[in-house]
Amino acid sequence: VAPDQWWKDAVFYQIYPRSFSDASGDGVGDIDGIIDRLGYLELLGIDALWLSPVMRSPMADHGYDVSDPRDVDPLFGGIDALDRLIGQTHSRGIKVTMDLVPNHTSDQHPWFVEALASAPGSPARERYIFRDGKGPDGDEPPNNWPSIFGGPAWKRVTEADGSPGQWYLHIFAPEQPDLNWDNPEVFDDLEKTLRFWLERGVDGFRIDVAHGMEKPADLPDMDISGVTLLENSDDDPRFNNPGVHEIHRKIRAVMDDYPDAMTVGELWVDDNDRFAEYIRPDELHLGFNFRLVKTAFDAEAIETAITESLAAVANVGGTPTWTLSNHDVDREVTRYSEEPGDADPTTAANRLGLARARAMILVELALPGVAFIYNGAELGLPNVDLPDEALQDPTWERSGHTERGRDGCRVPLPWEGEAPPFEFSTNPHTWLPIPAVWESITAEKQLEDLDSTFSLYRAAIEMRKTRTEFAGDKVEWYGAPEGCLAFRRDVGKLVCALNTTDAPVPLPPGEVILSSTPLTEDGQLPANSAAWLV
Ligand code: TEU
């Protein structure tokens, strides 16, 4: 058993490095930019950082295409910058976790370059998933699998002699060939990567596509009738194959040499019991539970999501986790607004979305377990509906311009000043344009405003860390008016009440210590609000 399971009730803050803060002035965020903002993160009160990938990468999927897993890309400042970040973050009492991408590599990774230069059937090809094509000329893909980003999941290569050749599998972009996890070299290399970063002082890893990696041996066709880009179902043969658990057990055996370090898997698994299998005691320490991302602002549905999540995780003796957004999904303000689309924080739709997002952070932070916050959520940022020419996510191209992709939630953060780029960078040409209408919601303005979303997050995190009322691993539900929920932590008795209706409702008994909306009527919880009581 780990001596210090610091992650068990931690608040993690996800940094999307391109979008957080740019020190070099090239318009793309970097590690020195993060170092410049550590004071802000300390003030917010978070326990740990999760950095989306900073390893060497040609950036076809902004770092999720890794060409050297044991180095940091010069775009982000190189490995010396990361060493500085680890040192300075630790000296503020904050942990650092990194993203690992074991399902695939970049097509520029030396292994893949070697595979392309080698003959069909050669050991170099056996590190990836190469197959002959179907049809008399082998000119049809080996099966019907679609890529998550659009188009087929197979690309045909040209052999060394110039002839049309085999196909390789890429569940994501063609620049992200899937590794063959049945080849022992693949795990051996991941073990090197794990130890490399742990020895440098990293406190843990987020594991990308942790429900992927293993593929069924016969690569059967799949039912593609209901397939949606950027999504997968539980029985999709591209994911959730039984052999994946063996991989997690091998990763855990390495991690157990570093008892203060943890893993959290990205698990797009809807069935809670199936999800929980990944966090059995000898697999991942934690798994991302996306139930709240997938649930509308509806008290009954939220209560069900929480109850089912807690029950499944308790069955395996695991730790619950909660998340409202990340770099792959629409920001919560936009999801909860009734007319999504516009970045302007002053529209009625975005004000409604923000009220609901503020309520939900009180729900998330009142629950037992781990909370993940995606950078910019603490400023209440909405998605940005970017112009076509700004879009960069591979989904935009690969879907034939039918899907706008994930850029809208990745716009750089507005820090200070009255106009873009709001001190995110000294360069006005930021990698995605920052809307001028964010002038009223910069970090600078929110830090000094006690009613701001930043101040709400800060107060909530501080209470959660310091007050004894948050003790207990379980929640007890109260009866609540229709469209509302109320639960209490079993030991400390903190009460969280949520009103998802459009009218005020009576508050449960107790003293309010925090509310997502100012309480104007005595004893009433306003519409689209939450409160904490003791
Ligand atoms: O995402 C994996 C993934 O499957 C997502 O596309 C997910 O299915 C979708 O967002 C659900 O709505 C991870 C990373 O988080 C993502 O940024 C990468 O593009 C992807 O892996 C490939 O590495």
Give me the DSSP letters along 454-495.
Answer: HHHHHHHHHHHHH-GGG--S-EEEPP--TTEEEEEETTT--E
In the numeric block, which tokens belong to residue 318?
């695991």
DSSP result, 211-274: T-S---TT------TT--TT---TT-TTS--TTHHHHHHHHHHHHTTSTT-EEEE-----SHHH
Assess whether the C-beta atom of 207 lies below 6 angstroms from ligand 1.
no
Strands (E), 279-361: 286-287, 321-323
Indicate yes or no: pTM above 0.90: yes
Please provide residue 4's backbone torsions phi and psi, each rounded to the nearest 5 degrees: -135, 90
Closest residue CA from atom 7 of ligand 1: 230
Closest residue CA from atom 18 of ligand 1: 64
Assess whether the C-beta atom of 35 lies below 6 angstroms from ligand 1.
no
In 3D space, the residue among 289, 210, 288 whose CA is nearest the CA of residue 249 turns out to be: 210
Assess whether the C-beta atom of 173 lies below 6 angstroms from ligand 1.
no
Ligand 1 atom closest to 239 (CA) = 4
Assess whether the C-beta atom of 7 lies below 6 angstroms from ligand 1.
no
Q: What is the pLDDT of residue 340?
A: 84
Q: Which domains does the chain possess?
A: 6-104+184-457 (3.20.20.80), 110-169 (3.90.400.10), 474-533 (2.60.40.1180)
Q: What is the pLDDT of residue 4?
A: 73
**Residue labelled with tokens 């000043």:** 417
CA 298 to chain centre: 23
Single-letter amino acid code for the residue at 95: K
Assess whether the C-beta atom of 403 lies below 6 angstroms from ligand 1.
no
CB distance 310 to 474 below 8 Å: yes
Q: What is the pLDDT of residue 2?
A: 44
Torsion of CA 411, 384, 401, 293, to 10 degrees: 90
Assess whether the C-beta atom of 172 lies below 6 angstroms from ligand 1.
yes
Q: How far does the centroid of ligand 1 lie from the alpha carbon of residue 506, in Å?
A: 41
CB distance 482 to 501 below 8 Å: yes
In the numeric block, which tokens belong to residue 156?
């045909």
Query: Distance (Å, rounded) from C-alpha 487 to C-alpha 479?
Result: 9
Which of the residues 266, 277, 407, 469 is marked catalytic? 266
Sheet holding 529-533, edge to edge: 475-477, 484-489, 495-499, 529-533, 512-515
In 3D space, the residue among 213, 239, 224 whose CA is nearest the CA of residue 144 turns out to be: 224
What is the 8-class DSSP label of residue 11?
Answer: E
Global ipTM? 0.95
Q: How far does the centroid of ligand 1 lie from the alpha carbon of residue 138, in Å?
A: 30
Q: How many CB atoms lie within 10 A of CB 237?
A: 17
Closest residue CA from atom 2 of ligand 1: 209
Strand 95-100 and strand 48-51: the pairing is: parallel
Name the strand (E) or helix (H) holding 312. Answer: helix 299-315
Q: Annotated catalytic, 423?
A: no
Assess whether the C-beta atom of 255 lies below 6 angstroms from ligand 1.
no
Residuewise pLDDT in 10s, the chain (534 residues): 345 799 999 999 999 999 999 999 999 999 999 999 999 999 999 999 999 999 999 999 999 999 999 999 999 999 999 999 999 999 999 999 999 999 999 999 999 999 999 999 999 999 999 999 999 999 999 999 999 999 999 999 999 999 999 999 999 999 999 999 999 999 999 999 999 999 999 999 999 999 999 999 999 999 999 999 999 999 999 999 999 999 999 999 999 999 999 999 999 999 999 999 999 999 999 999 999 999 999 999 999 999 999 999 999 999 999 999 999 999 999 999 988 878 999 999 999 999 999 999 999 999 999 999 999 999 999 999 999 999 999 999 999 999 999 999 999 999 999 999 999 999 999 999 999 999 999 999 999 999 999 999 999 999 999 999 999 999 999 999 999 999 999 999 999 999 999 999 999 999 999 999 999 999 999 999 999 999
In 3D space, the residue among 172, 69, 67, 165 whose CA is nearest the CA of residue 125 turns out to be: 165
Assess whether the C-beta atom of 393 lies below 6 angstroms from ligand 1.
no
What is the 8-class DSSP label of residue 110?
Answer: H
Q: Annotated catalytic, 208?
A: yes
Which of the residues 208, 332, 342, 364 is marked catalytic? 208
Ligand 1 atom closest to 212 (CA) = 4
Helix, strand, coil shares of the chain as percentages rounded to 5? 30, 15, 50
Q: Which of 208, 213, 395 to mutate to test the pocket of ligand 1 (most atoms within 8 A of CB)?
A: 208
